[in-house]
Amino acid sequence: MSITLTAAHVCGVVLLREDGAALLQHRDDIPGIADPGLWVFPGGHREADETPEDAARREFVEETRYRCGDLKPLTSIQGADWGYGQDFQLEFFWSRFDGVQSYECLEGQAVRFVTRVEAEQLPRCPYLTTVWDQALARASAPGLSRVPYTNLPAQISELQPALRAAFDRVIASGQYIMGPRLAEFEERFAALCQTDFAIGVADGTSALQLVWQAYGLGPGDEVITAPNSFVATASSIAMSGAKPVFADVGADLNLDPEAVAAAITPRTKGIVPVHLAGRPARMDEIRRIAEKHNLFVLEDAAQAVGARLHGKPAGSWGNAAAFSLHPLKNLFAYGDGGAIATSSPSLKDTLRQARNHGLRNREQCDYWSGNNRLDELQAALLLVNLGAFEQWTERRRALAERYHQLLSDVVEVPLQGPGEYCVYQTYVIQADHRDELQNHLQAHGVEALIHYRTPLHLQPAAANLGYRAGDFPVAERAAQRILSLPLFPAMTHAQQDRVGELIHQFYQRRC
């Protein structure tokens, strides 16, 4: 790409890494700069219809393939100061360089971090040093170090070429529904769950609904589940015409097997344990209860791809398991997506037919059913994400471990229980003065969420079920104390330290 300096503005970005190093790009193709040792990042021209900020962002993305976060104006240097004519001006913006672990640029571009000392040794460095000083001062100013709840663009930055290639292949193939990528995804997902089969579906809610449809759940039936879940856990039961029956959870915030046993009636047909926040429910005990009473177990594993109990994956314990592949889940599609895992051949056949209108083949519809398929594009992109999944999970677990250490003296942290392998799809603390803590974090730019503020039995939609406040004391108390902190594979230690520091500050001020 050629760079022209005849435009009125040249745009640059200074990106700061958490250790204070700045990302600069070697440009020896700038006309007039004889010395190839001069570093400018990223340099470049401004199109007639672009703002300087847009130009800086475009140059950055084009040249590094990384996503550039919010740019903030930093400084403007006159061309004359840099030894050029008066006819142009160099505008710098700054941004934190969050979330990208590797700074080796793609496609062999000469991009690297330099230390401040190196920068000072560069020719004409006084200008660069000025820019740098200003950027450091801005970046360390209070209120500017935002910690988002998640950062998907940073998380997938290194997968971009593979994602684009996968996307292009599907587009070129002309086969967009029920093709080879779906089949391959299903095979790999079943292997991950250690089940014989997986069925790709439109989303996690469809996964739950289809299993109940295939089972034949209906009016007069009851299914026991946890009151502290996402609405789809209960709505999928209710929409079949059956009654969701809630049982309280234990200290792990997952179904308490004793409470499940106590909730069984002659109408009970099934149990839906939820592996909340990526922590496996007590499946060994729940399965024993189910076997004793001949109940169907549908794991709601929407939040728990890869979680394990005693080495056995979530999804392999029940008769079937429903997964969500929503973008906020730990394995995600680029839009809605879902999957069902099962080792039952007959259930698999029914589910594959049920997700596709009940069609046996193009001509014959055996029963009325919906359209709940996972399309080829999503399957192809999911296959790319699967390649990074193990690394993402390790990173989530390492960050969770670090949070435990940072926070266990001030709040209740989600430690793993014996035999558990948690994937920390969500990192949920339990805290006194939770709402004030959330406001404090929010005021300082840290995004923390609540999953879920209102238990299912107290939702307006559940009014006809006859529950009242106080029916499930553990779940209800937790609903007032839980707070999901930011935890995502691209999170930096500096971001995590910031969250820890703010939480400590909040409780110190209350003392």
Ligand X SMILES: Cc1ncc(COP(=O)(O)O)c(C=O)c1O
Chain positions contacting ligand X, by CB under 6 A: 203-205, 229-230, 232-233, 274, 300, 302-303, 324, 326, 336, 338
- CB of residue 53 vs ligand X: minimum separation in angstroms? 35
CB under 8 Å to 145, separation ≥6 — which residues?
96, 139, 445, 494, 495, 498
CA distances from 227 to 79, 166, 210, 230, 334 (A): 64, 40, 21, 9, 29
* For ligand X, the closer CB: 71 or 232: 232
C-alpha 243/C-alpha 217 separation (Å) is 10
* For ligand X, the closer CB: 45 or 279: 279
- CB of residue 426 vs ligand X: minimum separation in angstroms? 9
CB under 8 Å to 494, separation ≥6 — which residues?
18, 145
Q: Is 432 helix (H, G, I), strand (E, B) or coil?
A: coil
- CB of residue 308 vs ligand X: minimum separation in angstroms? 18
- CB of residue 451 vs ligand X: minimum separation in angstroms? 8
- Residue 429, Cβ density class (10 Å: 0-12 exposed, 13-18 middle, ≥19 buried): buried
- CB of residue 274 vs ligand X: minimum separation in angstroms? 5
* For ligand X, the closer CB: 228 or 393: 228
- CB of residue 225 vs ligand X: minimum separation in angstroms? 10
Q: 421 and 280 in contact (C-beta within 8 Å)?
A: yes
Instruction: Please report the sign of the dihedral spanned by the C-alpha atoms of residue 346, residue 352, residue 356, residue 360.
Output: negative
C-alpha 248/C-alpha 15 separation (Å) is 49
* For ligand X, the closer CB: 74 or 274: 274
- CB of residue 305 vs ligand X: minimum separation in angstroms? 12
- Residue 364, Cβ density class (10 Å: 0-12 exposed, 13-18 middle, ≥19 buried): exposed
- CB of residue 408 vs ligand X: minimum separation in angstroms? 26
Residue of 113, 110, 105, 102 lying closest to 26 (CA atoms): 110
* For ligand X, the closer CB: 157 or 303: 303
CB atoms within 10 A of CB 160: 15
* For ligand X, the closer CB: 42 or 204: 204
* For ligand X, the closer CB: 27 or 326: 326
- CB of residue 396 vs ligand X: minimum separation in angstroms? 16
* For ligand X, the closer CB: 33 or 422: 422
- Do β-strands 420-421 and 222-225 pair in parallel, antiparallel, or remain unpaired? unpaired
* For ligand X, the closer CB: 205 or 378: 205
As given in the structure block, the two tokens for residue 383 are: 């296959």
Residue number closest to ligand X, CB atom: 204
CB atoms within 10 A of CB 281: 33
C-alpha 280/C-alpha 308 separation (Å) is 6
* For ligand X, the closer CB: 185 or 230: 230
Q: 495 and 486 in contact (C-beta within 8 Å)?
A: yes
Beta strands in 58-172 (DSSP E): 72-78, 89-96, 111-114
Q: How far is CA 354 from the centre of its chain?
A: 29
- CB of residue 229 vs ligand X: minimum separation in angstroms? 5
